[in-house]
Structure 1
Amino acid sequence: MAGVVELTYYPIKGCAGTSADEAPLTPAGLAHDRSFLVVNEEGVGRTQRRDPGLALVRPTVSADGGRLTLQAPGFETLDLRVDTAGDRRKVEVLGTVHQGIDQGEEAADWFTEVLGAPSRLVRVPPEHDRVTDGRIPGTSAYADSCALHVVSRATLGLLHRKLAERGLPPLPMDRFRPNIVVDGWDEPHTEDRAHRIRIGDTEIGYAKLAIRCAVTMVDQGTGAKAGPEPLRTLAEYRRATEGGVAYGTKYAVLRPGTLSVGDTVTVTSWGESEL
């Protein structure tokens, strides 16, 4: 029987995740997931593609979302009151313009020092009405696309076998920054074909395959690029027809509720893999 073995949300896009035993599932994904964004002077969102040092920033959001704590090795901890009512400004995520609420000078100075480049921190506004793409549309905060990213342990196990054939060590699951990790599926990439899933009192629907980028080559523990793996190995057996390599699956939220580690994962509708 398949079940949830890991739940992780990422309060600030590109920064370290927070593991949870239980988490509310909102229409935009796990509560607080990618609700903050670090931007440059022009308002363009920073990601690990160009700023791998983001991986070393460990944000913590209070349960009510009212406070944000920032930690990074070698820097003082910063505790902030989250502003949800300030002036809006334009911000850009992967070429798409959204709105953000600037979180003030303390946050800006802290990220500028940590990243060594002028930066500011913004939060998604309450009226954020983004519509995501994919087979089933949904919404999300500042995620690359859909609300949820799901990967199974069987899928990671296959990659480990492929790496071992090259004489290479295994890679941790955090290289792929999933929200939900499922164990109990025998076949790797079962998530490609699981088109509707019931977990606890929630339901999620297949949107699209996750096309991977250079972030998978960043060591999440050190914040250093450590390529060319896993992209080199994945390119041998997971090439997508539209280009790039596919690993993991993106889902939209069909019914919000609460997710818990240990919840049974029940597939209620199957489909063909798009790979």
Structure 2
Amino acid sequence: MPTITTLTLYPIKSCAGIALQAATITAAGLCHQQVHDREWMVVDGAGQFLSQRSHPRMALIVPALQAGSMTLQAPGMAPLEIPTAPLPTGLAPVIAVTIWDDHLSAHDCGGEAGRWLSQLLGQPCRLVRFDPAVKRLASKKWTDDADVPTRFPDGFPMLVISQGSLDDLNQKLQAQGRAAVPMNRYRPNLVIDGVDAFEEDFAATIEAGPLRLQLVKPCTRCPMPAVDQATGEFGPDPMDILQTYRGNPRVDGAPTFGVNAIVQDGAGETLHVGQEIALELDF
């Protein structure tokens, strides 16, 4: 029987994730202790989002959750504590930010967080938090025209990858004398096991009790999986292997790995590591 083997929450876009045993599923993705996936984001002085694509050291920013706060740690830096309680309506300062083609306002988390990030990344930075009054939606091209809310992910609330898919890729890497890569290079929210390699590509839905996820868009891949999440440095890039067998006609032939998902039914339900799931295939 297919099962969930890993649940990972990424409080800050492009920073380290937090492995969970259980998580609440909202329409906009995973939530734990009232902290939502990609609820925070690092921006430069012009409000443009930053990611590991250009700043691989962001992988070294490791969040930990406590009641009412989140502590950030990174090599050579004193811990930084960020409040996670809901911000007072209309009182928190806002700045204009840009994430891909979306221009929106976000809450500025203050000078201390900005100085901490600026020192670590070597350029002027700010930490911003998603404003729940702002509407940011996933691409309707892939959601059957449904309004699907998101915060600061690249495009969709959740990413699903099967363990079999990673095992298949690693077998190809090792056949060339190259090292296997861990799952955290691909930054999924849900890892599932008990299915064939890339079976998620052909799944219409994943059901877990009353929760029903719709798998909507293959995840196209950029150079980020070349970043070693333990060192924050670029290393060998598995992209060349993916290009040999993972070109996907649904996204103009770009290599894909994993599938983006949205909540079809059951928002508010809880998922658990070890929970059995059912995939409905759509050939």
Same fold (TM over 0.5): yes
CA distance in 2, matches of 1:37, 1:116: 17
The aligned counterpart of 2:58 is 54
The aligned counterpart of 2:261 is 251
Q: 1:196 aligns with which of 201, 205, 229?
A: 205
Segments of 5+ residues of structure 2 without an aligned counterpart are none
Segments of 5+ residues of structure 1 without an aligned counterpart are none
State the Cα RMSD in Å.
1.4
Q: 1:232 aligns with which of 224, 240, 243?
A: 240
**Is 2:279 aligned against 1:271?**
no
Question: What SS does the corresponding residue of 1:75 show, helix, strand or coil?
Answer: coil
Q: 2:72 aligns with which of 62, 70, 73?
A: 70
Aligned-pair CA distance for 1:265: 1.2
Question: What SS does the corresponding residue of 2:240 show, helix, strand or coil?
Answer: helix
Question: What SS does the corresponding residue of 1:151 show, helix, strand or coil?
Answer: strand
* Partner deviation per Cα, 1:220-262 (whole Å, 9 max, x = no partner): 11000113x2101000000123142100000001221111001
The aligned counterpart of 1:37 is 41
Counterpart AA for 1:182:
I
Query: Which TM-score applies when normalising by structure 1?
Result: 0.93
**Is 2:134 aligned against 1:122?**
no
The aligned counterpart of 2:113 is 107
| Identity of matched residues, % | 34
Aligned-pair CA distance for 1:19: 0.2
Aligned-pair CA distance for 1:98: 2.3
Higher mean C-alpha deviation, range 32-41 or range 239-248: 239-248
Question: What SS does the corresponding residue of 1:128 show, helix, strand or coil?
Answer: coil
Aligned-pair CA distance for 1:75: 0.6
Q: 2:222 aligns with which of 209, 213, 222?
A: 213
Question: What SS does the corresponding residue of 2:131 show, helix, strand or coil?
Answer: coil
Contact 1:84 1:126 in 2 (8 A): no
The aligned counterpart of 2:164 is 154
Counterpart AA for 1:238:
R
Q: When the two structures are aligned, how many residues end up with a matched partner?
A: 267
Q: 1:87 aligns with which of 93, 102, 119?
A: 93
Query: Which TM-score applies when normalising by structure 2?
Result: 0.91
Question: What SS does the corresponding residue of 2:156 show, helix, strand or coil?
Answer: coil
* Partner deviation per Cα, 1:55-95 (whole Å, 9 max, x = no partner): 000112345xx422111011100112247241322211123
Contact 1:84 1:123 in 2 (8 A): no
CA distance in 1, matches of 2:103, 2:200: 30
